[in-house]
Structure 1
């Protein structure tokens, strides 16, 4: 899938979910950004809209789960927290690999 097609798909998905309704600066040209590439510009726009890529959401979830695990004292709770952490880390690794593959083929 080409970058243009992926971007268009994400825009249409966000429109359908209402994520692009009532954005600050709607109908105005995008502001100029210093020295950034298309990826950083896209990330900036997403950040301003309050939308996070799945990879960032997973990184935050992994960090939160590590804190939860560190606070566990009961062995059964530790085991459950470790299982959840392993699951989140696996999902994060999958997202990261998908991103790397996408940028290699585009």
Structure 2
């Protein structure tokens, strides 16, 4: 028996037993697929559901917050310090992205 037939039989059995009724998201369209490979997207989703946030995502949030700091500091002596911190965060983010790409290839 092929995997396809086995999977189809399990789905039909679950439907007959009502195990697929009233599931979260039932009747709603599937969410838009994230750019990138499916395995990476699936891994990120599993981590998000478990409450684990990759360092790459944390850095992205820090970058967004730092951009606001840079905008507010424009024209003041603190602007250079804020820009240096933003550049550092962007570099770290790029390193994390590259490490993830290398890990998955």
TM-score band, normalised by the shorter chain?
0.5 to 0.7
**CA displacement, residues 53-77 of structure 1 (integer Å, 9 cap, x when unaligned):** 1111111111110011001145321
Q: Which entry has the higher C-alpha Rg, 1 or 2?
A: 2
Partner residue, 1:103: 104
Comparing 68-77 and 36-45, the one that deviates more: 36-45
Q: Which has the higher helix share?
A: 1
Quick one: higher RCO (CA 8 Å, sep 6+), 1 or 2?
Answer: 1
Partner residue, 1:79: 80
- Separation (CA, whole Å) in 2 of partners of 1:94 and 1:73: 27
Asked if 1:52 is matched to 2:56, the reply is no
RMSD across aligned positions (CA): 2.3
- Separation (CA, whole Å) in 2 of partners of 1:68 and 1:41: 33
Query: Which 4+ runs in 1 deviate beyond 6 A?
Result: none
Shift in Å, 1:39: 2.7
- Separation (CA, whole Å) in 1 of partners of 2:79 and 2:40: 38
Structure 1 unpaired stretches of 5+: 1-33
Tell me how many residue pairs correspond in the alignment. 71
**CA displacement, residues 9-42 of structure 1 (integer Å, 9 cap, x when unaligned):** xxxxxxxxxxxxxxxxxxxxxxxxx899433232
TM-score, length-scaled by structure 1: 0.57
Alignment of 1:1-106 (within 5 A): 37-73=38-74, 75-104=76-105
TM-score, length-scaled by structure 2: 0.58
